[in-house]
Amino acid sequence: MGRVPQNPVTHSRLLLELSVMFPPSPSSSSDFSIDAYDYELPEERIAQNPVEPRDSARLLVLESPTTHSHQIFRDLPAFLKPGDLLVLNDTRVLPARLYGQKPSGAAVEVLLLEEVGNRRWLALVKPGKRLKPGAEIIFLPNSQVGNRQMGEFRARVVASDDDTGGRVLEFQLPTSENFSDVLERYGHVPLPPYVTQSQADPRQYQTVYAREARSAAAPTAGLHFTEALLEQLADRGIDRAFVTLHVGVGTFRPVEVSDITQHTMHEEWVSVPEATVAAIRETRQRGGRVIAVGTTAVRSLESAALDGSIEPFCGKTDLFIYPGYHWRVIDGLITNFHLPKSSLLMLVSALVGRKRLLQLYQEAILNEYRFFSFGDAMLVLPTAKVEDL
């Protein structure tokens, strides 16, 4: 159940009205310039492979607006309190990258983004300009499945999507199989484009608690958790609850406007179930803190509370968080290190302040932290939030 999801126009208008009801935290006008979120990152700092075990990644802990320390992710239980609540995104990454060819034999690469109808998916396609509506793509099986006989697997381009530059594909499935089974044989787990020399097993790009396969990318802050670490947290009295945000183009689409307030997020599907809302309310009643694991968990929770209090929510969100945002649900955050000029960097800046965040990034670079999806992590404790200044 939950509230009826807001469409983009209503959603934006609601945010404007709420900004009057809940004045934003102070922010500088420079916080709204895209160039203010740029930084230089040496190529060798981009992690190409995950560390093993997962919880041996480094952890930069922000303890207050002026203090921080360098830790290891497995030390996380020492920085949380009994009664705190971790909220994690349980989405699973689809084998969403498909390799195929046109009937002429020309190579085609497809990245599935979002299901938009029966056997129809919005996808990024290369080379997209040459694939007009009506064009056919014949897909090649994943070489890792062995020599099994493969049925024919095709798709037809039925429309272009101006918002993403993608294509809507209608798939013609072999025999009577369902789409998820076919993807397991033909698809590849899509690593980000900056991961170019990875030997990672596809399972290493899934969280240990991943459930429903619908995402085009992993909620990477959760990759650091092991089953043993989750048990340690539970033994310490730290609860956990789940939301689902199927990661699509909205999360990793670049911000391309000079004034970031003019950026529009592409919608992504979100579910904040009643059990999670109840867990948050119970946490508040006992004086605990709500710690989101990853920016997707942040956007899920905050989208479910745009009228001021959190309620169960199932629908799409285009919520874009940047400095000046008034926080409604989360107290703290676990996150990775994000790309320059990205909406994710802007979200974390809204929590700790842009200038401080970029200073911490520079320190992390000097201390040889590993960046992006397979990289190290940051813990923003509630005592480090900007609005607590």
CA distance 27 to 16: 16
27 has pLDDT over 70: no
Q: Are 62 and 379 in contact (CB under 8 A)?
A: yes
User: How many CB atoms are closer than 10 A to CB 196?
Assistant: 10
Average pLDDT over residues 358-385: 98
22 has pLDDT over 50: no
Burial of 198 (0-12, 13-18, 19+ CB in 10 A): middle
13 has pLDDT over 80: no
Phi–psi pair at 74, nearest 5 degrees: -65, -15
Q: pLDDT (tens digit, 9 = 90+) per residue, 277-325?
A: 999 999 999 999 999 999 999 999 999 999 889 999 999 999 999 999 9
Pick from 161, 157, 183: nearest CA to 170: 157
pTM exceeding the 0.85 threshold for the entire prediction: yes
Q: Indicate the pairing of strand 85-89 with strand 239-245.
A: parallel
Q: pLDDT (tens digit, 9 = 90+) per residue, 245-281?
A: 999 877 778 899 999 999 999 899 999 999 999 999 9
pLDDT attached to residue 175: 67
8-93+200-388, what's its fold? QueA-like (3.40.1780)
Average pLDDT over residues 16-37: 66
CA distance 70 to 372: 18
CA distance 42 to 61: 22
pLDDT attached to residue 142: 77
pLDDT attached to residue 190: 93
Average pLDDT over residues 378-386: 95
Domain locations in the chain?
8-93+200-388, 97-186
Let me know if the fold of 8-93+200-388 is the same as that of 97-186: no
97-186, what's its fold? Thrombin, subunit H (2.40.10)
65 has pLDDT over 80: yes
CA distance 363 to 378: 12
Give the pLDDT band of residue 24 (cuts 50, 70, 90): very low
Q: pLDDT (tens digit, 9 = 90+) per residue, 69-118?
A: 999 999 999 999 999 999 999 999 999 999 999 999 999 999 999 899 88
